[in-house]
Amino acid sequence: MTSNINIAVFISGGGTNLAALIEGQDKNVFKGKIKLVLSNKKSAYGLVRAQNAGIKNIVEKDNEKILKILQDENIDLIVLAGYLKILPDFIIKNFENRIINIHPSLIPSFCGDGFYGIKVHEKVIESGVKLTGATTHFVTAETDMGPIIMQEAVKVNFEDSPEVLQKRVLKVEHRILVESVRLFCQGSLKVIENRVKIER
């Protein structure tokens, strides 16, 4: 894919990953255009970020309407940037290997149903592991189990609170999410069975 990629970013909250993507777009890091920001919550601050950046933003909960919006806007790539809602199979099938999610742990640890937001970091600290991190992956029907694109580790300090750890992991999230989108837009991601080969 060498032409401009139309991107839809899905959010449910503050949109810091969205902010990183907008910055990446402004700096021409990737050959893509964020055409649409969609949220399932009216209160999501990420909608304000989109508005400030001049990006079309929509609040919609109905999945059938969401699919039609994506088709009408000619979306090539969906990025789930803190979208706290499970996508239905019919959207996933329509966008097979074209939905990227960011998760705040090293999948397959601390992921799946119930593992989102601050809860992930609470469980990481409770477990006593010394490393956590962030993962980008393609979305499949099984939550957080799609082919992994990128991972980066973060040290867990004994003194960390979940909030402190979350901030440290967020920096990694921003970096690998923008890089994953860049690789997608230049056609460098090849899915082979349940693995992703990066062809740089």
- 165: annotated binding-site residue? no
- The annotation status of 80 as a binding-site residue, yes or no, is no
DSSP helix/strand/coil, 150: strand
Two structure tokens written together for 118: 């601050």
Catalytic status, residue 103: yes
Tokens of 173: 């999230």
Q: Is 63 annotated as a binding residue?
A: no
Task: Give the sign of the dihedral formed by CA 174, CA 78, CA 95, CA 166.
Answer: positive
Q: Binding site annotation covers 84?
A: yes
Question: Is 155 a known ligand-binding residue?
Answer: no
| DSSP assignments along 67-86, one per residue | HHHHHHTT--EEEESS--SP
| Total length of the chain | 200
Query: 101: annotated binding-site residue?
Result: yes
Is 28 known to sit in a ligand binding site?
A: no
- Residue 17 among known ligand-binding residues: yes
Annotated catalytic residue, options 103, 121, 137, 174: 103
Q: Please give the backbone phi and psi of residue 185, each rounded to the nearest 5 degrees, phi first.
A: -65, -30
The strand order across the sheet containing 131-138 reads 56-59, 32-39, 5-11, 77-80, 99-103, 131-138, 148-155, 195-198, 189-192
Residue numbers annotated as active site: 103
* Residue numbers belonging to the annotated binding site: 15-17, 84-87, 101
Task: Mark the binding-site residues for (6R)-10-formyltetrahydrofolate, compressed into ranges.
Answer: 84-87, 101
